[in-house]
Amino acid sequence: MQIGILKESGDRRVALVPKGIEKLQQDGLQFLLESGAGATANFSDADYPDTIQILSRAEVLQQADLLISIHPLSEQELKGLAADKTLVALFEPYNQTEVVSQLAALQLQAFSLDMIPRTTLAQSMDILSSMASIAGYKAVLLAANTTPRYFPMMITAAGSVKPAQVLVLGAGVAGLQAIATAKRMGAVVEAFDVRAAAKEEVKSLGAKFVEVEGAAEDQDAGGYAVEQSEDFLRRQREAVQQSAAKSDVVITTAQVRGRKAPTLVTADTVAKMKPGSVIVDLAASTGGNCELTENNKTIVAHEVTIIGDSNLAASLPQDASVLFSNNLVNFLKLIIQEGELVIDLENEIVKSALISPPQSA
Ligand code: NAD
């Protein structure tokens, strides 16, 4: 079987790094690399094992049996593929609802890496967590770089400076990493989440958990948050407003799978924030947690800088690629045996990730 690794467009990461190929070497497996695929993540073609073939994109698309990328191929490229190909990428079928039927219509087999369950067993393949953790870290660095204030308390001969106040909305993987990073840099941190389990995690990182009574939870939601009632969201927005008004930095990460991100920071709240404050909205691509966020843009409103970026993992391309690649290798080892694809639908991880052809429940 031939495995093709494609170059991303508009993203500096690469799905498989040279060490990943070494770990996957099996009899009967051949690797094809689109020339320059790893260059923006600091992996040159020459860094890959000698056994790999360096080809043009068109050649990889035509020759590979299994095509690997981070972002899905364009509609036009998908239409140009022979029907027997298998694709592995982050298809986000929860947000891109038409993608499953489109792949099925083209008779393409596809695994979506974001559909791997968030279970202990699948932890070594959890790309969402690896990338969210980087995003949380980079969100704090971006905010620190943008705020006109110090993060840590400073006692100098010229006077003392109070530490920055950071508010983190959503204490999942990205939020917890943002809390840990901001704490390490000396900020005073508060955080909100709707999952009760988040409270202890937030407190164990030395941050204050701001509680809003009456959040809905569903044990069957696979650890994910569920949509909240309008009454809860209204009370939460009021509590957020109080915290945000005294904060220098607000980092928002709140997501509800398959739905628009909840609006937690209203335009009115932004207007009440201190001039020079910064909001980094990691939920920008699903509508944003801040009412004024514009996806993939940095804007200034009411003297507050609002950065809308859901792909911050791509801004740390080298380490992000290594972690993506490690997770991907663990998944590929599950579906490739002795150089061939072996799809075991009894395996929950394989079954969950296989989005085309669609599986009956
Ligand atoms: P996510 O990106 O879907 O959401 C980010 C956070 O936003 C979550 O903590 C969520 O509870 C929170 N949120 C949603 N609506 C909110 C609202 N109105 N107000 C405040 N916060 C809100 O989540 P994620 O980081 O991908 O994590 C999802 C779940 O998976 C978590 O429970 C996490 O602990 C779990 N997880 C488990 C494993 C494992 O066991 N291997 C690995 C990673 C994550």
Pocket test for ligand 1, best of 119, 126, 173, 281 (most atoms within 8 A of CB): 173
224 is catalytic: yes
Pocket test for ligand 1, best of 127, 235, 255 (most atoms within 8 A of CB): 255
What is the C-alpha radius of gyration for the chain, rounded to an integer number of angstroms?
22
Locus of tokens 């705020």: 147
For the record, the structure tokens of 81 come out as 């593929």
The residue annotated as part of the active site, out of 44, 74, 123, 229, is: 123
Mean local confidence (pLDDT), 62-76: 97
Q: Is the peptide bond before 357 cis (omega within 30 degrees of 0)?
A: yes
CA separation for the pair 47, 66 (Å, rounded): 22
Q: In this predicted model, what pLDDT tens digit does every residue of 220-244 receive, in sequence order?
A: 777 788 888 999 999 999 999 999 9
Per-residue model confidence (pLDDT) at position 140: 98
123 is catalytic: yes
Write the Ramachandran bin of 10: left for phi over 0, alpha for psi from -120 to 50, otherwise beta: left
**By the 8 A CB rule, do 250 and 266 touch?**
no
Read off the pTM. Answer: 0.95
Q: In this predicted model, what pLDDT tens digit does every residue of 3-42 receive, in sequence order?
A: 999 999 999 999 999 999 999 988 889 999 999 999 999 9
Q: In this predicted model, what pLDDT tens digit does every residue of 82-131 receive, in sequence order?
A: 998 999 999 999 988 888 889 999 999 999 999 999 999 999 999 999 99
Per-residue model confidence (pLDDT) at position 257: 87
CA atoms within 13 A on the CB side of 204: 8
Q: Above 60 in pLDDT, residue 168?
A: yes
CA separation for the pair 74, 361 (Å, rounded): 28
Banded model confidence at residue 360, pLDDT cuts 50, 70, 90: low
Q: Above 90 in pLDDT, residue 217?
A: no
Q: In this predicted model, what pLDDT tens digit does every residue of 48-66 receive, in sequence order?
A: 999 999 999 999 999 999 9
For atom 24 of ligand 1, which residue has the closest CA? 172
For atom 1 of ligand 1, which residue has the closest CA? 255
**By the 8 A CB rule, do 13 and 41 touch?**
yes
Q: Where are the alpha helices (DSSP H) in the chain?
A: 18-24, 57-63, 75-79, 99-105, 127-146, 173-184, 197-204, 230-245, 267-272, 317-335, 348-353
Mean local confidence (pLDDT), 133-152: 98
Per-residue model confidence (pLDDT) at position 93: 94
Ligand 1 pocket at CB < 6 A: 118-120, 123, 126, 128-129, 132, 169-175, 192-195, 198, 223-225, 228, 236, 253-257, 262, 264
CA separation for the pair 74, 55 (Å, rounded): 19
**By the 8 A CB rule, do 3 and 68 touch?**
yes
CA separation for the pair 228, 234 (Å, rounded): 10
The residue annotated as part of the active site, out of 118, 184, 195, 235, is: 118
Amino acid identity, residue 38?
A: G
Locus of tokens 């004024």: 292
The percent of residues above 70 in pLDDT, for the chain, comes to 99
Per-residue model confidence (pLDDT) at position 58: 98
Which atom, in ligand 1's list, is nearest to the CA of 254? 7
For ligand 1, the distance from its centroid to the CA atom of residue 250, given in whole angstroms, is: 18
**By the 8 A CB rule, do 98 and 74 touch?**
no
Banded model confidence at residue 151, pLDDT cuts 50, 70, 90: very high
126 is catalytic: yes
Rounded to the nearest integer, the mean pLDDT of the chain is 95
The DSSP H or E segment spanning 2 is strand 2-5
Phi, psi of 324 (to 5 degrees): -55, -50
Pocket test for ligand 1, best of 114, 193, 232, 257 (most atoms within 8 A of CB): 193
- In 3D space, the residue among 334, 343, 340 whose CA is nearest the CA of residue 29 turns out to be 340
Per-residue model confidence (pLDDT) at position 97: 83
Give 45's DSSP letter. G
Per-residue model confidence (pLDDT) at position 160: 98
Per-residue model confidence (pLDDT) at position 348: 96
Per-residue model confidence (pLDDT) at position 209: 96
242 is catalytic: no
Mean local confidence (pLDDT), 200-218: 93
Q: In this predicted model, what pLDDT tens digit does every residue of 263-295 receive, in sequence order?
A: 999 999 999 999 999 999 999 999 999 999 999
Q: Above 80 in pLDDT, residue 361?
A: no
